[in-house]
Structure 1
Amino acid sequence: MNFQHTEDRRMLADTLNRFVSEQYSFETRDKIARTSTGFSREMWGRFAELGIIGALLSEADGGFGGEGFDIAVVFESLGRGLVVEPFLGALVVGQAITKAGTDRQKTLLSKLIEGGAFAALAHDEPGSHYELSKVSARALPHADGWVLKGAKAVVQQGEEADVFLVSARTSGDDDAQDGISLFLVPRDATGLAVRGYRKIDGGRAAEVVFDEVHLGDDALLGGKDAGYATLEHSIGFGVLALCAEALGAMDVAKEHTLEYLRTRKQFGVAIGSFQALQHRMADVLLEIEQARSAVINAAAALGADRIARERALSAAKYSIGRIGTRVAEECIQLHGGIGMTWELPLAHYAKRLVMIDHQLGDEDHHLERYISLGRS
């Protein structure tokens, strides 16, 4: 199998890498991450003008990509710059609408691609521990629509979202795959409350509460009780995106650490000449290449049958969780105390690598899932 990127993807990566390096410096990113919104609407518009959001969706849906390697190329570049704009929400919600949306619901895709709307996934709940099927929020039939009750946790950029993709149970037990439905809920819906907070790795997230939110029938995405397959499919794109983002962040952490080893001197010589440190750095380089292989395998499997796809995604997320944490720890250790200072970009890359492990399932969760899928 040929894993070389097409010319279009190479051009996309070059364009995005150049924009991030020239227009999205660490100082700019840090300033954006500390704002009350947690990201920049201006930057989001500029990313949209470059076609970066469009690369996440297929040509049939108004984009020009949407395949596994398109996702990987974009998010690896975003990871290199620690970009905090809401790409993950646009990807996951966009893919869910692509898979199950009506023609009317799909009109939202053009707004996402143009940068005129923000979307957020509201699925995780307190105590769900990453299980996709564990949904306690309820949607009850009412008149010509639904009444939504429940709460969602750690909704990325939830304060600024124009629309939420919400999972709610319309039948069955709280941990059953059958009985989950998906809803597109506008930010201004009566009864919807959002409480935002800063994240330790930059940007913001929110807790979202639905207190008898009345929705029309047109808010239902896909069939009643049939939302699990769409949820699993769209979150799979998110898992690949996070893995690729982590790979980009690892590469930059590696580059910063190599530069430090070449320039930091002790006893009159660069510490990179010490054999013990060379061995540790060699281990880091090997681990990053293993992570790269895991991302390639996941991207290649994104269009495969469900079991092959989900196993490749879980294998990649497990590998990224383990390797990302090790790379963060080793790079900090090789820098010494300065590695933990706020002013040094490395500390922020390390935080992001650790936190990626906890998004959409940590390494323990995905190892268990990989094993269970092998028994299916």
Structure 2
Amino acid sequence: MDFRLSEEQQQFADSLQRWIARDYSFEARQKIVASAPGVSDPAYAALTELGALALAVPEEAGGLGGSPEDLMIVMKEIGRGLVIEPYFATVLAADFLRRGGHTAVLEQVAAGTLQLACALNEKEAGHELFNIAVTARADGDAYVVQGSKCAVIHGAQADALVVSVRTSGAPRDQDGISLLYVPRDTPGMTITEYRTYDGQRAASVTFDQARLPATALIGQAGKGWEILEAATDFGVVLLCAEAVGAMEAANALTLDYLKTRQQFGVPIGTFQVLQHRMADMSMHAELAKSITILATVKAHRAPANERRKLVSAAKVRVGKAMQFIGQQAIQMHGGMGMTNEMSIAHYFKRLTAIETTLGNTDFHRTRFTRLPDFASA
């Protein structure tokens, strides 16, 4: 399998890198994080102009019909530049809509005029996305939604949400799950925003007898688990790609620091023990990159069990790399590495947040071992 980027893909990656270097410096990002909105409309417009949003939308729905590998390129550069705009949240929600045939709004996503988010997490569920207590009761030609979602990434910035609800069955059943498209202005829905420790924005979403038309249903009623699992598996792959970009940037920052920080009259990069650590960090990054590429290539093409196996294996391998690289980078920067003035601290925070999003390392290790053929992996 040839993992090299095509000429067009490399040009696209170069365009993203030039934009980040020119308009999205660490100082510029810090101002965006501290601003009231917490995101930058001009930055999101730049991503749209570059075609990053259109890549996530099929051609028949008004987009460019990009491959998972194309989106991997975007997420890797987003990770490298610590971009905090709601690209991931929108692309993940768009994948739900694509899979569920709910494509009427995707042209607006491609044009950058509609931002989306996914309300999938609940306080008592941990990483089990099938553990759903939010209910949607059929009432004539409508659904009445009741309950609360938490940790909705960029929920307050979204014009609409993809929400997982239970229309039948017990709270942990995989049957009886439905998916709904919920516009931001829906009566009975309350969004409470907060800033996360990695500089992103998230929200809690509460539904109090929120009424939605039957057309809000994504896919089939009670049969949403297959879409939910497949779409979030793709989301895990995208997060792994972001982590790879962030780890490569963290390694580069650490190497530069070792070359310039002096002790005993020489750069600390001349100390052999630190050179060995740096080599181990590079190895972890390459292993994470390789398995992320493999999982990306298979994300939309492999049978369900193979997809589950590769996605969970990638999250575990990337999780180990994130922990090792993050901790080593902070340690080699010393006390300064813990300060907000140093960009390495923000890479560490973002890597920590990725670890806990859509299932942490322990969750995916357990999921992997529970697959029927895990011993032959």
Q: Shared fold by TM > 0.5? A: yes
For 1:100 and 1:143, locate their aligned partners in 2 and report how far apart those are by CA, in whole Å. 22
Give the alignment's TM-score, normalised by structure 1.
0.97
Residue identity matched to 2:321: I
Contact 2:121 2:151 in 1 (8 A): yes
Structure 1 Cα separation of the partners of residues 305 and 60 of structure 2: 26
Identity of aligned residues (%): 40
What is the match of residue 43 of structure 1? 43
Distance 1:374 1:32, change over 3 A: farther
Using the alignment, how far apart are the partners of 1:255 and 1:65 within structure 2?
Answer: 33
1:285 counterpart = 2:294 = no
Partner in structure 2 of residue 90 of structure 1:
90
The answer to whether 1:59 aligns with 2:59 is: yes
Match of 1:351 among 337, 341, 349: 349
d(CA) in 2 for partners of 1:374 and 1:290? 25
* Shift in Å, 1:375: 4.5
By how many angstroms is 1:172 displaced? 0.6
* Alignment equivalent of 2:295, drawn from 282, 298, 304: 298
Larger deviation, residues 80-89 vs 66-75: 66-75
Whether 1:141 and 2:110 are equivalent positions in the alignment is: no
Matched residues in 2 for 1:47 and 1:145: separation?
36
Q: Which amino acid aligns with 1:346?
A: I
Q: Aligned to 1:209, what secondary structure does the other structure show?
A: strand
Distance 1:110 1:186, change over 3 A: same
Task: Measure, in 2, the Cα distance between the counterparts of 1:158 and 1:91.
Answer: 13
**2:39 counterpart letter in structure 1:** F
Q: Distance in 1 between matches of 2:57 and 2:312?
A: 22
Deviations 1:95-143 (A, max 9, x none): 1111112xxx422111111110110100100021111211110000112
- The residue aligned with 1:202 is 199
Say whether the 8 Å CA contact 2:182–2:216 is kept in structure 1. yes
Q: Does 1:329 align with 2:288?
A: no
| 1:186-236 superposed Cα distances (whole Å, 9 cap, x missing partner) | 111111011111111012100000000001110111111011111112112
Given residue 87 of structure 1, which amino acid in structure 2 is its aligned partner? Y
Please tell me whether the aligned partners of residues 247 and 292 of structure 1 are also in contact (alpha carbons under 8 angstroms). Answer: yes
Once the two structures are TM-superposed, the CA of residue 62 in structure 1 deviates from its matched residue by 2.5
Q: TM-score, normalised by structure 2?
A: 0.97
Query: Is the Cα–Cα contact under 8 Å of residues 338 and 344 in structure 1 kept in the other structure?
Result: yes
Instruction: Give per-residue Cα distances to partners, 1:160-194, cap 9 Å, x unaligned.
Output: 21101000001111011110000001111111011
Q: Secondary structure at the match of 2:156?
A: helix
Larger RCO (alpha carbons 8 Å, 6+ apart) = 1
Distance 1:153 1:318 in 2: 24
SS at match of 2:371: helix
> For the structure 1 residues 374 and 300, does the alpha-carbon distance in structure 2 shift closer, same or farther, using more than 3 Å as the test?
farther
Amino acid of the structure 2 residue aligned with 1:196:
E
2:11 counterpart of 1:11: yes
For the residue of structure 2 that corresponds to 1:158, the secondary structure is coil
Q: CA deviation at 1:68?
A: 2.1
1:184-263 matched pairs, under 5 angstroms: 184-263=181-260
CA contact (8 A) 1:181 1:224 kept: yes
RMSD: 1.2
2-side partners of 1:94 and 1:375: how far apart? 31
SS in 1 for 2:60: helix
Residue among 264, 267, 271 paired with 1:270: 267
* CA deviation vs aligned residue, 1:334-371 (integer Å, no higher than 9, x gap): 11111111111110001101110001110000111111
Q: Deviations over 1:43-81 (max 9, x none)?
A: 111210111111223333322243221121110011011
Partner of 1:314: 312
Contact 2:86 2:157 (8 Å CA) reproduced: no
Separation in 2, partners of 1:246, 1:181: 30
Cα distance in 1 for residues equivalent to 2:230 and 2:60: 18
Aligned partners of 1:216, 1:273: CA distance in 2, in Å? Answer: 66
Unaligned 5+ runs, structure 1: none
- d(CA) in 1 for partners of 2:315, 2:65: 22
CA distance in 2, matches of 1:235, 1:72: 15
Residues 339 and 346, structure 1, Cα contact 8 Å, conserved in 2: yes
Q: Classify the secondary structure of the residue corresponding to 2:105.
A: helix
1:226 aligned counterpart, secondary structure: coil
1:41 Cα deviation (Å)?
1.5
Matched residue, 2:78: 78
Q: Is the 8 A contact 2:61 2:104 kept in 1?
A: no
Give the aligned residue type for 2:275.
Answer: Q
Work out the CA distance in 2 between the residues paired with 1:167 and 1:300.
27
